[in-house]
Structure 1
Amino acid sequence: MADPLTPQVSDRICAHMNDDHAEAVLLYARIFGQTPQATAARMESIDTEGMNLTADVAGQPTPVRVSFEQPLQTSEDAHHTLIDMVKQARQQAQAAGAS
């Protein structure tokens, strides 16, 4: 059974994303956070409505909020949403690079 999105679950998700999926977090900031000039990003927290990131923009830490299309309830919802979002972000980044 999936865990509810508590602060402890948020911490676990953030640690995993920052340690193992830094490229995805950067794409979230660039594409969904409308910060295309970001050179790095960290996921600070995730809640039912969205995620809070800190992006490196021109050497400055910049807070970025990315909202979800649908509210999340559980860690499983977060897992599926984050995977779907990185797929969308990669497609958008690829399309932008082709134009």
Structure 2
Amino acid sequence: MSDALSPAVSDRICKHMNEDHGEAVAVYVQIYGQTPEATAAEMKSIDNQGMNLVAQVNGDSVPVRVEFDHALQDSEDAHQTLIAMLKQARQAAH
């Protein structure tokens, strides 16, 4: 069963992404956040419409908002959407 995207679920997703998938978070900022010069990023929150990230650009922290292509239904939709976005970004890079 999937959870609604509550603040607690957002925190759980962000913690997991930042600790285990830092490279993916950087890709989201570089590709979808149109900040290719970012060297790293941190996911701050995720909601039904998009995610709020902070990119590291030339030593500065820059807030970046990435909108999703559809409204997320729940945490499983978030999971599948983040995976699909990463695959799409990696394919575009090659």
Q: Same fold (TM over 0.5)?
A: yes
Partner Cα distance (1:12, 1:20) in 2: 12
Aligned-pair CA distance for 1:93? 2.2
The residue that corresponds to 2:68 in the other structure is 68
Deviations 1:36-82 (A, max 9, x none): 00000000000000000000001100000000000002000000000
The residue that corresponds to 1:53 in the other structure is 53
Task: Compute the TM-score of the two structures, normalised by the length of structure 2.
Answer: 0.98
The residue that corresponds to 2:31 in the other structure is 31
Task: Compute the TM-score of the two structures, normalised by the length of structure 1.
Answer: 0.93
Q: Give identity over the alignment, percent.
A: 65
User: Larger Rg: 1 or 2?
Assistant: 1
Query: Where does structure 1 differ by over 6 angstroms across 4 or more consecutive aligned residues?
Result: none
Q: CA RMSD in A?
A: 0.5
Give structure 1 stretches of 5+ with no counterpart: 95-99
2:79 corresponds to which letter in structure 1?
Answer: H
1:48 corresponds to which letter in structure 2?
Answer: N
Give structure 2 stretches of 5+ with no counterpart: none
